[in-house]
Amino acid sequence: MAANALVRARIDETLKNQAADVLAEMGLTISDLIRITLTKVAREKALFAF
């Protein structure tokens, strides 16, 4: 599947940086997390438990 859509969101900079640091420890980026989350929502037609 081609990644050709852009998603933008406003978020607190500190929160973004903290999340990016945690994700980096997992080998992921914020973009990876968004892609994974939206794929799961589209497939399951529901939000998953956090």
User: Tokens in use for 19?
Assistant: 């999340």
pLDDT score of 49 = 73
Domain-located, residue 6: no
User: What is the count of structural domains for the chain?
Assistant: 1
Instruction: Write the CB contacts of 32 (distance below 8 Å, at least 6 apart in sequence).
Output: 23
CA 40 → CA 12, 13, 17, 45, distances in Å?
Answer: 25, 26, 24, 8
Domain-located, residue 50: no
pLDDT over 70 at 50, yes or no = no
pLDDT mean over 25-47: 95
User: What is the value of pTM for the model shown?
Assistant: 0.83
Domain-located, residue 1: no
Please name which of 12, 50, 5 lies closest in space to residue 31, comparing C-alpha atoms: 5
Domain-located, residue 22: yes
pLDDT over 80 at 48, yes or no = no
User: Which structural domain range is residue 26 located in?
Assistant: 13-42
Domain-located, residue 2: no
Domain-located, residue 5: no
Domain-located, residue 35: yes
